[in-house]
Amino acid sequence: MVALNTPLSVRLSEEDALFLAGLELEGAITASDKVRGLIRQARRRAETPAGWDAALAAAHDIAAPALKALRAAELASDRHSTVALALTTAVEEMLAVLLAAPAELAGADPQALARHEARLVDCAARLTEQMLRWGVTPSAPAYDPTIVSRRVAALGELTRLITAAADRPSAA
């Protein structure tokens, strides 16, 4: 347990006091608990995550309100979208890669740069593959079952150009 021995007194606007009273932070009940929780959150955001686990935790903290709102809305409407959930978690993973970058790229090591790039490409490739898988079905597991197939169909010409370019013999 951390010793709490530095008193702090603040004056808040009524709007801020109402916000603080309604704020839900894990383990925080009193206004003092909430202020300490907000300081911990601000410290975590200000400090560069020490590694992948810390970056993933920070990304999760950032994405949590959106994910919570999504799940609450789904529960209230009795609907579910695997697409929305998967895209949200993909963004969370990509954000974790970005948050881990300052610590991992601190020495400008060429191998670290290549690993960082590979992680970004892997995230993008997994997301692209999933979108294409949903796009080949007439109805994706989404609120609008045709949303993915419509968007992927619009990319069809680009896909054909990529395939044609890959099939051409190289001029050597």
Contacting residues for 59 by C-beta, under 8 A, at least 6 apart: 92, 93, 95, 96, 99
Dump pLDDT digits (tens) for 58-94.
899 889 989 999 999 999 999 999 999 999 999 999 9
Where in the chain are the domains? 28-165
Structural contact between residues 118 and 97, judged by C-beta atoms closer than 8 angstroms: no
24 phi, psi to nearest 5 deg: -110, 115
pTM above 0.75, yes or no: no
Contacting residues for 98 by C-beta, under 8 A, at least 6 apart: none
d(CA 128, CA 133): 9
Dump pLDDT digits (tens) for 134-171.
888 888 898 988 888 888 888 888 888 888 888 887 76
